[in-house]
Amino acid sequence: MKKINLAIALGATCAGCDVAILDLNEKILEVFDLVDFKFWPTAMDFKIDDLKNLKDGEVDVGIYHGSIRTTEDAEIAKILRKKSKVVVAFGACANFGGIPSLANMPYEKSMFDVVYKDVPSMDNPEGTVPQTSITIKGTELTLPGIRKDADALDAVIDIDYYVPGCPPMVPLIEQVVEVLKVFASTGQLPPKGTVIADTKTLCEECGRTKPEEISFKDFISPQEVQEIDPDLCLIPQGIICMGPATRAGCDALCTKMNVGCRGCLGPTDKVKDHGLKMISALTSLLDVDVEEDMSEEELHKVVDKIPDPLGTFYRFTYGKSLIYNLHSEEEIK
Amino acid sequence: MSKTTQETESQNPNPNIILFLCRWCSGKGADLAGTSRLQYPPNVLPIMVNCSSRIDPQHVVEAFLEGADGVLITGCNFGDCHYKTGNYKTFRRMSILSKLLKQVGVSPKRFRLTWISATEAAKFAKTVTAMVDELKKLPPYKINGKGGEEL
Ligand code: SF4
Ligand code: SF4
Ligand code: SF4
Ligand code: FES
């Protein structure tokens, strides 16, 4: 069996995606039997020139994780595309823009001012912000530029396969390994555009019991939770869970631990916009009986329990959402 | 990457407003405004639904994406919804949506929810007029297509 040439490249990443691959534990040995690493700078001693010096198409499978935040991220993605027969977007950041894409929300201040000047933990009396180039004693030092937005990988290159998750969970990575095995022995690959995860919703995978009629009175923030019923669906307990609109495939990792799903596998194919769907679903389930004698002010209090709908319902998917297209900076005054 | 705002002096003489109204109280109120020959600007495109709770946040977002300058939703007063509790759900759904729209840069002036009873023709005409007047002062709503501009 011919070994597969594999490259793992990265953009704006927390490297959690790399760690997730190492989490395969002993199964990683199978990976080493199966592939020749042509590029994986996080785990081995590779430099970008090692990727550049490969022949076009020499890499069989190129995996990219992280979002496209800097000009260098975009450049590396383009190089990976050129060198690889197939490219896999790996992790929520590469699939949807992920958490970094939340910084694309319009805001009255520039991101650098917030990050390098305003945050309380910053001590920067001279107000220095990163520059793309500076000359010190006649030598020019350069840094990659920051793009206006942090985007999903498909904003800059064509993608063949998607593996969502923040980071992709071991069961999904095992599926990727299976795909690689089939590819190595038969040369067969799944159809282009395949999402390597489930097609059903997380609720179908989650073992919690769903009562006949689900309703709840109030959104409960995690810090207010007194006691969680370990078997009952979290929504009737008032805990926000993105399960109804989220793709299955993680084996309900979070809900098993009494934590509401945050939606890291992204929406299912049938859902056009992850967050809007969840807003619609959750507000339909909010109990109304009690409200009939509530004042408008009290009604407001209920929704004020969600102070940050963008961060709550689009934690991982803002960069690929319908509402991302609404984004208008002119309106921020 | 600087997110400074542009000065936009331009005004919009003819804003487009999508009006979602429920068939019952608020629809009757709107009808009455017509039959009583109350004057209000012709900038609204009404879409009638059975109950305000039928309107999904996605409908509102898609209205903007299709070029609306504003979206107005009207429903029955609390306690009057034909389906008893629909408007409570509308209230919650749209309160969260309006917060979200603000976060993604849509001015709150462009999205309104109000309750109109079958007799409140004057309130209906006033609400529409006020919203049109406000939107005339804003530039046309422009979505700025995203994706990959480099510095
Ligand atoms: S998907 Fe999650 S784990 Fe992977 S790089 Fe992004 S933030 Fe890190
Ligand atoms: S909403 Fe959450 S807790 Fe309830 S069944 Fe779905 S995934 Fe499980
Ligand atoms: S439960 Fe939700 S947030 Fe947690 S791992 Fe699964 S998809 Fe991601
Ligand atoms: S019927 Fe008017 S809001 Fe429900």
pLDDT of residue A108: 79
Answer whether A310 sits within 8 Å of B104, measured CB to CB: yes
Asked whether B75 and B87 are in contact (CB, 8 A), the reply is yes
Strand order in the sheet with B70-75: B44-49, B17-22, B70-75, B111-115
What atom of ligand 4 comes closest to residue B75's alpha carbon? Answer: 3
Helix residue spans in A60-217 (DSSP H): 71-83, 92-96, 111-113, 170-186, 202-205
Asked whether A32 and A89 are in contact (CB, 8 A), the reply is no
pLDDT of residue A106: 83
Q: How confident is residue B8, by pLDDT bands cut at 50, 70 and 90?
A: very low
The partner residues of B74 in beta bridges, in order of sequence, read B21, B114
Ligand 1: does its nearest atom lie under 6 Å from the Cβ of A66?
Answer: yes
Q: Which residues of B touch A106 (CB under 8 A)?
A: 3, 104-105
Answer whether B148 sits within 8 Å of A299, measured CB to CB: no
> Which residues belong to CATH 3.40.50.700 in chain A?
4-99+148-186
Q: Tell me the two tokens of residue B107.
A: 């001015």
CB < 8 Å from B in window 136-175 of A: 145-149, 151, 155-156
Answer whether B97 sits within 8 Å of A276, measured CB to CB: yes
| Burial of A237 (C-beta count, 10 Å sphere; 0-12/13-18/19+) | middle
Decide if B85 touches A, using CB distance below 8 A. Answer: yes
Long-range contacts of A80-84 (CB under 8 A, 24+ apart): A80/A7, A80/A9, A80/A51, A80/A157, A81/A157, A81/A158, A82/A56, A83/A7, A83/A38, A83/A51, A83/A54, A83/A55, A83/A56, A83/A57, A83/A58, A83/A59, A84/A7, A84/A57, A84/A59, A84/A60
Between strands B44-49 and B17-22, the pairing is: parallel
Ligand 1: does its nearest atom lie under 6 Å from the Cβ of A23?
Answer: no
Q: Tell me the two tokens of residue A210.
A: 């769903």
Q: How many helices (H) and strands (E) does chain A have?
A: 12, 9
Decide if B58 touches A, using CB distance below 8 A. Answer: yes
Q: What is the DSSP letter of B4?
A: P
Smallest CA–CA separation between B66 and chain A, in Å?
A: 10
How far lies A203's CA from each of A129, A251, A282, in Å?
A: 45, 10, 14
Which residue of A213, A318, A325 is the best one to mutate when testing the B interface, meaning the one whose CB has the most B CBs within 10 A?
A325
Smallest CA–CA separation between B36 and chain A, in Å?
A: 30
Q: Which residues of B touch A103 (CB under 8 A)?
A: none
* CA atoms within 13 A of residue A330's CA, in its CB half-sphere: 13
Return the CATH number of the domain spanning residue range A4-99+148-186. 3.40.50.700
- Give the nearest partner residue to B142 out of A149, A303, A330, using CB atoms: A330
Mean pLDDT of B92-104: 93
Answer whether A329 sits within 8 Å of B6, measured CB to CB: yes
Whole-angstrom distance between the N-terminal and C-terminal Cα of chain B? 7
Q: Residue B82: is its pLDDT beyond 90?
A: yes
Grouping H, G, I as helix, E, B as strand and the rest as coil, residue B22 is: strand
**Total-model pTM:** 0.91
Q: What is the DSSP letter of A209?
A: B
Return the CATH number of the domain spanning residue range B13-114+125-136. 3.40.50
Domain edges within chain B: 13-114+125-136
Asked whether B93 and A279 are in contact (CB, 8 A), the reply is yes
Q: Dump pLDDT digits (tens) for A54-70.
A: 999 999 999 999 999 99
For atom 4 of ligand 2, the residue with the nearest CA is: A233
The rounded distance, in Å, linking the Cα atoms of A112 and A114 is 5
Asked whether B74 and B30 are in contact (CB, 8 A), the reply is yes
Q: What angle do CA A211, A213, A219 make, to 5 degrees?
A: 90
Asked whether B29 and B117 are in contact (CB, 8 A), the reply is yes
Among B3-17, B56-70, B88-102, which is the least confidently predicted range?
A: B3-17
Strands (E), chain A: 4-10, 35-39, 59-65, 68-70, 84-90, 133-136, 139-142, 146-151, 161-163
Peptide bond into A106 cis (omega under 30): no
**Amino acid at the residue A95:** N
Ligand 1: does its nearest atom lie under 6 Å from the Cβ of A168?
Answer: no
Q: How many helices (H) and strands (E) does chain B have?
A: 4, 4
What atom of ligand 3 comes closest to residue A265's alpha carbon? Answer: 7
- Ligand 1, pocket-test mutation among A8, A14, A254, A264, most atoms within 8 A of CB: A14
The residue with greater pLDDT, A56 or B147, is A56
**Phi and psi dihedrals of A10, rounded to 5?**
-145, 150
Instruction: Give residue A189 CA to ligand 3 midpoint distance, Å.
Output: 27
- Selection from B86, B68, B61 nearest residue B76 by Cα: B86
pLDDT of residue A220: 86
Dihedral class, residue A218 (left if φ above 0, else alpha if ψ from -120 to 50, else beta): beta
- Selection from A113, A5, A116, A97 nearest residue A50 by Cα: A5
Ligand 1: does its nearest atom lie under 6 Å from the Cβ of A21?
Answer: no
The rounded distance, in Å, linking the Cα atoms of A235 and A206 is 12
pLDDT of residue A224: 84
What atom of ligand 2 comes closest to residue A260's alpha carbon? Answer: 2
Answer whether B144 sits within 8 Å of A328, measured CB to CB: yes
Instruction: Give residue A260 CA to ligand 1 midpoint distance, Å.
Output: 19
Tell me which residues of chain A have a pLDDT lower than 50: 333
Q: What is the DSSP letter of B31?
A: H
Q: Residue B54: is its pLDDT beyond 50?
A: yes
